[in-house]
Amino acid sequence: MSSPDRFLLAGVMGWPVMHSRSPALHNYWLTHYGLAGTYVPLAIAPNDLEAALRALAPLGFSGCNLTIPHKERALAIVDTVDPVARRIGAISCVNVRPDRSLAGTNNDGYAFVQNILQQQPGWRADAGPIAVIGAGGGARAVVYSLAERGAREIRVMNRTFARAEALAREYGPPVTAIAWEERHQALDGAAMLINTTSQGMVGQPPLDLALEELPMSALVCDIVYVPLDTPLVAAARRRGNRTVDGLGMLLHQARPAWLAWFGLEPEVTPELRAVIEATLHA
């Protein structure tokens, strides 16, 4: 645990960043655990990322989270990158080590799995084929975590087929790329459907996906959490599928970050979820 005479500092770097709910989440925990400190949003333009990251240590920060558009660029800036972040190809969390060097990791895949398990404790990655919409950074973290947990067939669909192909080629079996035009039929027999794109987010069009071929037993997940009920989640729930929204992924990715920064692994509780949900409607 950090020294009691030290004011704890951490934050999230993005461009833009003021929409992030991470400050509300981390500052809730600082208050809950009686710690002196703050977690701040840091609006960092892409060209300023290296200077901003290098400023963390002298300013007394324990670390920071990274969001769009910094996750991939940070790979070339930090001093060390752990195998998980290297495999995913993006950094979601930077830790300032005692020698002031910067270590990069990625907690998104861990958070995705923990969110599923918290809401659907009986879930298994090897229960059947998994359909993943998208091939960007979110998809890479999700696919990595699914493969690590034993998924036997992951069907990746993306508007730009080349990106889905590249992801499948890099990860190898069990990942296969499916043409966007075949996305509706690719849901046939799936045990799970996951949207990793921004489609359905506030200000974005809904995901263009028909669910007729999706089995009623399939679990439907969306990593978007603004709104909680994306058009995909709402449509799946109406037809009787079990659903998992994206808010828990945000909450759980913060736990290993806290452990690295402050030496404490906080809990994701119903009260915390309610507090952050309230900010979505503010």
As annotated, the active-site residues are 71
* Cis peptide upstream of residue 83 (ω within 30 degrees of 0): no
**Residue 132 to residue 143: CA distance in whole angstroms:** 8
Match 């999230």 to its residue by tokens. 12
> Which residues does 170 contact at the CB level (< 8 Å), separation at least 6?
none
Cα(268)–Cα(282) distance, rounded to whole angstroms? 21
CB 196 within 8 A of CB 138: yes
Residues in the chain: 282
Q: Examine residue 16 and say whether the peptide bond preceding it is cis (omega within 30 degrees of 0).
A: yes
At CA 203, angle to CA 201 and CA 209, rounded to 5? Answer: 50
Q: Tokens representing 74? A: 């940070």
Cα–Cα dist 137/75, whole Å: 13
Give the closest residue to 91 by CA, choosing from 114, 129, 65.
65
- Angstrom distance (rounded) from CA 6 to CA 179: 53
